[in-house]
Amino acid sequence: MVRSKTWGSRAYDITLYASLILVSILTMFPILHTIAVSFSSSAAAGAGEITIFPQKLSLKAYEKVMEDDQFFVSFGVSALRIAAVLLLGTIVTYLAAYPFSRETKEFKMRNIYLWTILIVGSFSGGIIPGFLNAKMLGLYDNFWVLVLPYLFNFGNVLLVFNFWRNLPKELDDCSSIDGAGPWTKLLHIYFPMSFPVLATISLFTIVMIWNDYVQAMIFINDRSLVPLQTYMQEIVIQIDPSKPEEVGVMLSEVSNQTLNAAKIVLTMLPIVFIYPPMQRFFIQGITLGSVKE
């Protein structure tokens, strides 16, 4: 029988919903403010007149960001980099996660390898050794220096093999009785059932790679290999001092504030479009491996 809620329960629900609405508003305000600044004139932005609605609508900031061909070159590098890391990184993650998902009687050194990787992965070799290593391996100014360091992610491996260990053990036992080997199990049993965790690690990877700019700053000097985020860090308003008549016009149309807002909005768009469709798999991919029977 369904009982009516008490006043205390109703007050708790109202307080909870009000708190969530307030947090949502506080979270969305900086985003809406940044979008409004990017579509406003530099005069309105400098005067502090903008809240969440554009003032004196202007697209000059976006025109300034996108007028250089380097923007599109860098966008293509970032897209290709994400595709390479997703494809190769998923293969590496699955091949590493499968033996770790086995019992110790099948993989006697499993715990030793796990602890070794965990300890080693907790420390960094530093920028200078990494730079010297890249130079000796011929990876300096090479596209693969943006890809190879990100193929093995121990956090993703943990998610995948915990996800697999929570699947019914009878699947593995039945496939063994039918004569399935490790490759058959991996390709025809575990992989088809791993879409939630695959979506989860793909989302983590996309966000991490898309937002990374430090790697290219250290190892890339070729402008044709600069990712978008690194390019966005470098781009500035370029005013020709030999043409003073253009200075006043440029400053009246674009400022650092509106330009930076436009950069933030443009680099945010791909994640905004990718995240919602993959969000529905996120919780299942994260939590399934932590639930025990």
The residues, ordered by sequence, that sit 6+ positions from 196 with a Cβ below 8 Å of its Cβ are 163, 281, 284, 285, 288
- State the pLDDT at residue 254: 57
CA distance 45 to 38: 9
User: Residue 283 class from Cβ within 10 Å (0-12 exposed, 13-18 middle, 19+ buried)?
Assistant: exposed
pLDDT in tens, 214-228: 888 888 888 888 898
User: Residue 77 class from Cβ within 10 Å (0-12 exposed, 13-18 middle, 19+ buried)?
Assistant: buried
pLDDT in tens, 83-115: 999 999 999 988 888 888 887 777 788 888 888
Write down the pTM of the prediction.
Answer: 0.73
CA distance 111 to 97: 13
Higher pLDDT, 278 or 117: 117
The residues, ordered by sequence, that sit 6+ positions from 207 with a Cβ below 8 Å of its Cβ are 271, 275
What are the distances in angstroms from CA 169 to CA 58, 179, 191? 61, 16, 15
Q: Say if residue 133's pLDDT is above 80.
A: yes
| Segments in 166-242 forming alpha helices (H) | 169-177, 182-185, 195-211, 214-219, 228-234
